Amino acid sequence: MSGCKSRNPRVNILEHNAESIKFELRETHLSVANALRRVMLSEVPTLAIDLVEIHYNNTVLNDEFITHRLGLIPIVSTKVDKFRAWYEEDEEDDIDEQTGLPIDPLTEVEFTLDVLGRESEDNDGEETTVVTSNDIVLDSLHPDVAPINYKVENVKPIVIVKLRPGQAISLKATVRKGIGKDHAKWNPCATAVFRVPPAIRVNQQMLSGLSDAQRQQLVDSCPSRCFRVNPDTKEVEVQNADRYTYDDEIVRKAELLGVGGAILVREKPEHFVFTVETTGSLPPHQIVLGALGTLKKKLNVLSRDTARVLGEQNFREGGGDGFPMEYA
């Protein structure tokens, strides 16, 4: 083995709720942070409606328009591990803990949607019947695969189409597993970004020669308003560093006021602040864990195949006819 060891990055969770997570990742390289971000966006598997069979549709929206709208409805994907996409191979570790038998992976789940536009007298006096995600009928065998906020009281469901009296929609929708690289409907993130926080140093001694008005000018020059003049001490101080946009305006203003270098800004090394928001298909921390799992799996597949290449090479060497080794 080489002398270099794998890193052990530090993680600190700053905010965490049902919709989003904000955390710090420290003591690692930018390439790791960026790989994590990219995988969260495009390679964490989720569920989405992928195939729609329309039986009847005389609404104002055409078949493919409705199909597209259905595809974009986030589906609760906490059970996505039990699914297998068509391109995936069966894994050996899918064994039932109690019976010891292999678990048959799911490939698809079917929803149905049948709504008829009611006359206004049967519809609380309303001319239009609104078809929403709550009108979808779930697969009775898989009640935990459902559109987000399915039949949750006081939460507005997702509108699919609106009907006039006499218009109707009837269809069968197939839910499948997929990744954001295939189609954005499988992307679990509404946001997945990271930024590098700034380390700001204010040299009070250099600023001591400035008048109060000049200090105010200096503070006002920052468009992201990250500084303020302390009302008591009249010192320039950092107010909210995490809003700083690296615009350098205040650094240049300091130069104009003849105190160049009084305010120094640099990026904190090896420090990344992630913000991840979910579409609702997966809890936010599951997106992050799912991304790490996907990355790890990717790297393991690569190292296994690299081992295969090395093995073939050794085999040739074993043939030993004195020629320099060649790779496959």
Partner 1 sequence: MNAQERYEKFVLPDDAHKVTVVKDEKVENAVAITVEREDHTIGNLIRHELHRDREYVQFAGYKVEHPLEHKVKFQVKSSMDRDPVECFKDALERLSDEMSNIEQAIKKKVGVD
Residues making contact with partner 1 (CB under 8 A): 1-13, 16, 23, 25, 28-32, 34-36, 38-39, 43, 87, 179, 181-183, 285, 288-289, 292-293, 295-296, 298-303, 305-310, 313, 325-328
Least distance (Å) from partner 1 to the CB of residue 302? 5
Least distance (Å) from partner 1 to the CB of residue 321? 17
CA–CA distances in Å: residue 319 to residues 306, 310, 311, 316, 324: 20, 14, 13, 5, 12
Least distance (Å) from partner 1 to the CB of residue 310? 6
Q: CB nearer to partner 1: give 23 or 244.
A: 23
d(CA 192, CA 196) in angstroms, rounded, equals 14
H helix count then E strand count, the chain: 6, 13
Give me the torsion for CA of 68, 83, 277, 22, rounded to 10°: -170
Q: CB nearer to partner 1: give 1 or 213.
A: 1
Least distance (Å) from partner 1 to the CB of residue 30? 8
d(CA 97, CA 84) in angstroms, rounded, equals 19
Q: Which residues contact 328 (CB under 8 A, 6 or more apart)?
A: 309, 312, 313
Amino acid letter, residue 241? A
Q: CB nearer to partner 1: give 89 or 124.
A: 89
Half-sphere exposure of 116 (CA within 13 A, CB side): 4
Q: CB nearer to partner 1: give 120 or 300.
A: 300
Element (H, E) at 275: strand 271-278
The SS3 call for residue 54 is strand
Q: CB nearer to partner 1: give 26 or 195.
A: 26
Least distance (Å) from partner 1 to the CB of residue 41? 10
Half-sphere exposure of 167 (CA within 13 A, CB side): 16
Q: Do 297 and 307 meet the contact criterion of CB atoms below 8 Å apart?
A: no
Least distance (Å) from partner 1 to the CB of residue 253? 36
Least Cα distance to 227 among 211, 247, 209 occurs for 247
Q: CB nearer to partner 1: give 4 or 141.
A: 4
Least distance (Å) from partner 1 to the CB of residue 1? 6
Q: CB nearer to partner 1: give 159 or 310.
A: 310
Q: CB nearer to partner 1: give 165 or 293.
A: 293
d(CA 238, CA 226) in angstroms, rounded, equals 6
Least distance (Å) from partner 1 to the CB of residue 294? 9
